[in-house]
């Protein structure tokens, strides 16, 4: 699902209303390959319309990676990306992982990720870089970790430093119920 929103539009309402059956999941950012000091990755944790969003470092190498960890395993229904209006990735790849079943380390760097697929974003030339693209991706998967790879940026006159930026990143789903008689879900690190 793709929605174009004029810059400055109340995107929180648009993003929150996309899925009524699932709730917004809390996450921690546990990996970020680069960030612009003026637009740190911690901005993705903000739930405010005043958020400035995250941007990669200027002239960074691609792909760029952002890694998320949920407090416990979840059933992830959707991932929503609100792209910057000029600093737009050409492609975003998604990977998920659960903690090891053998009780091994529950660490982003130690888990085995499974590729879910990718999505492409529009260059935004048609709106003359006035709209922000909201992409909603239905995933329907169990996960405790989400790995997001941002491939090269769309080149345009407003992005001469070759950055990619997100204004917001929402994950929608619900916590996994423990299996009766099974082990309790692992604790977040």
| Range 23-44 burial, b when 16+ CB lie within 10 A, else e | eebebebbebbbbbeebbbebb
Query: pLDDT band at residue 187, thresholds of 50, 70 and 90?
Result: very low
pLDDT at 6 over 50: no
Q: Is the peptide bond before 63 cis (omega within 30 degrees of 0)?
A: yes
Q: Is 153 helix (H, G, I), strand (E, B) or coil?
A: strand
Q: What gap in Å lies between CA 118 and CA 137, rounded to an integer?
A: 9
The pLDDT tens digits of the residues spanning 77-105 come to 999 999 998 999 999 999 999 998 887 77
Q: What is the pLDDT of residue 102?
A: 83
Q: What is the pLDDT of residue 126?
A: 78
The DSSP output letter for 39 is: B
pLDDT at 48 over 60: yes
Q: What gap in Å lies between CA 180 and CA 183, rounded to an integer?
A: 8
Which of 9-18, 25-34, 88-97, 138-147 is predicted with the least confidence, judged by mean pLDDT? 9-18
Q: What is the pLDDT of residue 128?
A: 75
Alpha carbon 174 to chain centroid, angstroms: 16
Q: What is the pLDDT of residue 174?
A: 96
The pLDDT tens digits of the residues spanning 123-180 come to 877 777 777 889 999 999 999 999 999 999 998 999 999 999 999 999 999 998 765 5
Residue 22, exposed/middle/buried by CB under 10 A (0-12, 13-18, 19+)?
middle
Q: What is the pLDDT of residue 137?
A: 95
Tell me the residue ranges of DSSP E strands in the chain: 2-6, 23-24, 27-32, 54-55, 64-83, 91-97, 114-120, 131-150, 165-175
Q: What is the mean pLDDT of the chain?
A: 85
Give pTM, 2 decimals. 0.83
């Amino acid at each position: 699902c793709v929605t174009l929103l004029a810059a400055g539009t109340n995107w929180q309402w648009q993003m929150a209303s996309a899925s009524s059956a699932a709730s917004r999941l809390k996450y921690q950012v546990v990996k970020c390959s680069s960030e612009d000091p003026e637009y740190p990755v911690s901005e993705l944790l903000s739930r405010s319309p005043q958020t400035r969003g995250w941007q990669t470092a200027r002239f960074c190498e691609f792909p760029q990676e952002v890694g998320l960890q949920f407090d416990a395993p979840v059933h992830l229904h959707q991932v929503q990306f609100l792209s910057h209006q000029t600093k737009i990735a050409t492609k975003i790849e998604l990977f998920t992982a659960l903690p090891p079943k053998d009780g091994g380390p529950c660490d982003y760097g130690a888990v085995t990720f499974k590729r879910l697929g990718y999505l492409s974003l529009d260059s935004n030339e048609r709106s003359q870089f006035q709209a922000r693209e909201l992409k909603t991706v239905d995933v329907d998967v169990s996960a405790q970790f989400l790995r997001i790879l941002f491939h090269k940026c769309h080149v345009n006159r407003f992005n001469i430093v070759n950055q990619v930026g997100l204004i917001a990143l929402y994950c929608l789903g619900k916590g996994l119920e423990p299996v009766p008689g099974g082990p309790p879900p692992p604790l977040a690190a």
